[in-house]
Amino acid sequence: MTTAREIMTPTAECIGEKDTITQAAQKLRDLEVGAMPICGEDDRLKGMLTDRDIVLGCVAKGGNPDTMTAGEFGEEKPVTIGADDSIDDAIATMKQHKVRRLPVIDGAELIGMVAQADIARSISDDKVGDLVELISS
């Protein structure tokens, strides 16, 4: 059984919950990613922030990205996967919550990220289409 730990991207840089949306957008740009975990001062995962959140939740609503914080997007309990959970568990979680990225947790520590692409590289070609369809539907 292949686990999340085996396929994850082992670096999971966080956006601080007190960082502004402008700072968060710059970090997303600099790292060339579309989503990042939001972490509190206690280094605990508080949520996820996506480029879509920034556009729809701040810019389109007339919010000020220089004063609005990433923590304002981290109020819901983040969807995660355990480090030793299987790829099938990751797929089921992505499908259930309609997400394409999952923070990987070992105990209470954020240790990486699993994206739809990580899973796609780890499963047979005939299952990749099913994965995309399940998450996108």
pLDDT of residue 107: 86
Chunked mean pLDDT (size 10), the chain, 137 residues: 90 91 96 90 87 92 94 81 93 88 90 89 71 64
Per-residue model confidence (pLDDT) at position 76: 72
For the chain, helix (H) and strand (E) counts, in that order, are 6, 6
Q: Render the burial of 83-109: b for 16+ CB within 10 Å, e for the rest.
A: bebebebbbebbbeeebbbbbbbeeee
H or E stretch covering 113? strand 109-115
Angle, helix 87-97 to helix 125-136, in steps of 10 degrees: 30
Total tally of structural domains belonging to the chain: 1
Could you tell me the CATH number of the domain that includes residue 41? 3.10.580.10
Residue 133, pLDDT score = 67
- Structural domain for 73, as ranges: 4-136
Spatial distance between the Cα atoms of 101 and 91, rounded to a whole number of angstroms: 10
